Structure 1
Amino acid sequence: MADETSADINNPALQPNGEDTSPAIGLISQYVKDLSFENPNAPAVYQWQDAPQIDVQFNIAADSVGDSLFEVSLKIDVTSKADAGTMFVIELKYAGLFGVRNVPEDQLQPFFLAEAPRILFPFARRVVADAVRDGGFAPLLLEPIDFHGLFMQQVQQVEAEQAGNVAPVGQA
């Protein structure tokens, strides 16, 4: 028992006044911020026999919205086209409100651009599938995305560009 008490006293995260100084990030709320579904060629589109070409684009943004509060938004744009024209267009901005405490500044960007979208994506995916289904089409189930891998790829690209700008250009 004495060892447990001394371990608690020596724990730097536990302060004498009871304040918890350990880092933490928590999801407070998640929500549809903006949703648009367009079916510009209805009702003719339901008679088209062509297989659609689906184009999916993603964008991630993180904004401070208060003291230790950040909104991370996942924007998903989907366009479905056939030879005869556009079948549907969906634009979704799905967001989460995250509370942050005692997290080092250099750890915020990796969380907001890799981990937060991973948390939000399954819910945004369901909203897209439901909206497409409600528009009269088969539900569109977006493939899972490796947000961490994409973030690391982006970091490496930025580092390579910075290294390229510093290195002298010459002929071999």
Structure 2
Amino acid sequence: MADEGDILTDLNMDAGDAGKANGADNQPAIGLIQQYVKDLSVENPNAPECYQWQLAPDIDLQFNIGSAKIDEELHEVELKVNLTAKTDKGNLYIVELSYCGLFGMRNVPDDQAHAFVFAEAPRLLFPFARRVVADAVRDTGFPPLVLDPIDFQSLYMQQVQQRREQGIEPSELYGKPTN
């Protein structure tokens, strides 16, 4: 069994030391350690007047994915969601969410780690962030807004292609601060 302070547990726990002798310590491993709301802002700036408005709102929804390398084996992945519902009369509600996951990664090549951080990790975090957004909108007095699923893999591949057209290999940016 792994030590209490170890962020990644041995995937072959029954094999004990035999797994280590067969090179299990060198095998790539990724694990979700914790997920959490890092920041949440919910505004209903025109209540109670907005409940009388009959206009259908325009929804502006934006996502951003960021990461921070905490140490060699620990990475924070941040899924930012900015949502504004507005009409000609003003904003109905504004939700800004920063939902994060703390991931442990060991023996993962940089190109694969980059793809995991910016495509797979957000896919894992999204259902939980979607629930937080739906609850926040409901708590403003409006029906919950359930976000449609997002194909983070396709978005990632589009970003990779754009970077390559600019002469930048995305994995070169891995581990560097993102804005």
Question: Shorter chain as normaliser: what TM range?
Answer: 0.7 to 0.9
SS in 2 for 1:120: helix
* In structure 2, distance between residues paired with 1:149 and 1:20: 32
Aligned to 1:85: 90
**Counterpart AA for 2:41:** S
SS in 1 for 2:166: helix
Q: What is the CA-CA distance between 1:19 and the residue it aligns to?
A: 5.2
Gaps of 5+ in 2: 1-17, 169-179
CA deviations over 1:120-152 (Å, ceiling 9, x no partner):
000000000000001100100111100000000
Aligned to 1:54: 59
Gaps of 5+ in 1: 1-12, 164-172
Q: Which residue among 8, 19, 40 is the counterpart of 2:45?
A: 40
Aligned to 1:154: 159
CA deviations over 1:59-107 (Å, ceiling 9, x no partner):
0001011341000000000010011111111000000000011111221
* In structure 1, distance between residues paired with 2:86 and 2:24: 56
SS in 2 for 1:162: coil
Aligned to 2:25: 20
Moved over 4 A (4+): none
SS in 1 for 2:41: strand
Structure with greater Cα Rg: 1
CA contact (8 A) 1:14 1:21 kept: no
CA contact (8 A) 1:35 1:92 kept: yes
Q: Which residue among 69, 73, 76 is the counterpart of 1:68?
A: 73
**Counterpart AA for 1:60:** I
| Residue 142 of structure 1 pairs with residue 138 of structure 2 | no
CA contact (8 A) 1:114 1:151 kept: yes
Identity of aligned residues (%): 62
> Which moved further from structure 2: 101-110 or 43-52?
101-110
Aligned to 2:7: none
TM-score, normalised via structure 1 length: 0.83
**Counterpart AA for 2:70:** V
TM-score, normalised via structure 2 length: 0.80
* In structure 1, distance between residues paired with 2:72 and 2:93: 40
* In structure 1, distance between residues paired with 2:143 and 2:122: 25
* In structure 2, distance between residues paired with 1:86 and 1:16: 62
> What count of residue pairs does the alignment treat as equivalent?
151
> Which moved further from structure 2: 18-27 or 78-87?
18-27
| Residue 103 of structure 1 pairs with residue 94 of structure 2 | no
SS in 2 for 1:20: helix
**Counterpart AA for 2:40:** L
